[in-house]
Amino acid sequence: MARLTDAVSIVTGAGRGIGKAIASRYAREGAVVVLADIDQALGEKLAQELIEAGGRAVFQQSDLANLSSIDRLVESTCSSYGRIDVLVNNAAVTKSLGFFEVTEGDWDWIHNVNSKGLFFCMQSAARVMQTQGGGRIVNIASIAGKGYPATSNVSYAGSKGAVIAMTRIAASSLAGDNINVNAICPGVTRTDLYYEVMRGKVRSSGKSEEEIMAALDASIPIGRSNEPDDIADLAVFLASAEARNVTGQSWNVDGGLMWD
């Protein structure tokens, strides 16, 4: 039985990686999925794939660093479907940088999308959920936000720490409106972004990509890194009726790397 039947769901950063996996699972679980991504070609391609597979999906080009774009995304969704049941805040950016390599430009680029954009998307969707009697927000954070030392860079870790903190405050602020807010903290996850970071580590370390990936997997207690579907599994649960009393939590999906 489908777990998200007719749930109007926005998934940001839906064109690839974790966002694509979540959007695809939501469509299979019966949701109406609004695919938000800055890359028009990827978003339109995924929308077509989901429709051909029998799902309901529409693409909305969106830049999460632009507040006007966020407002258009929410307004368009409400205009088309009359409500927003689920928001998955997944859009994020990063690159491999040493501590002394992070510039002000890097900092602003990362935080404008990962923390500022995420907050205002959450705020805009929550206004709609408040008027309709409730909803679910799933923020994609990272174990980097809990101090995982092998993160791509310190600015990225700071942005994801902000996501975890904002999730807790939002859950408390919105509980009276029947809006559940939770975060998922992926560990090492094999996405396009993961491979981009790996290439950066290859350049800085002199090791091969295979050596770095093998070392990363060896550092994980369970012995394997995530696939995007591992994150999508939890994202379905948190959006479903089964999680009606779960809010303010930050769930690690990392094979045992972190314990808080």
Query: Can you name the residues that pair with 56 across neighbouring β-strands?
Result: 32
d(CA 123, CA 89): 11
Contacts of residue 193, Cβ cutoff 8 Å, sequence gap at least 6: 17, 92, 93, 94
Q: How many CB atoms within 10 Å of residue 71?
A: 13
- The one catalytic residue in 148, 156, 194, 195 is 156
Measured between alpha carbons, how far is 146 from 164 in angstroms, rounded to an integer? 8
- Contact (Cβ atoms closer than 8 angstroms) between residue 9 and residue 87: yes
CB 189 within 8 A of CB 230: yes
Both structure tokens of 48? 């077509």
Beta bridge partner(s), residue 10: 34, 87
Q: Is 195 a catalytic residue?
A: no
| Full 3-state SS string of 163-185 | HHHHHHHHHHHHHHHCEEEEEEE
Map 183-235 to HEC letters: EEEECCECCHHHHHHHHHHHHHHCCCHHHHHHHHHHHCCCCCCECHHHHHHHH
Residues ≥6 apart with Cβ < 8 Å to 167: 139, 141, 181, 182, 183, 248, 250
Active site amino acids:
156
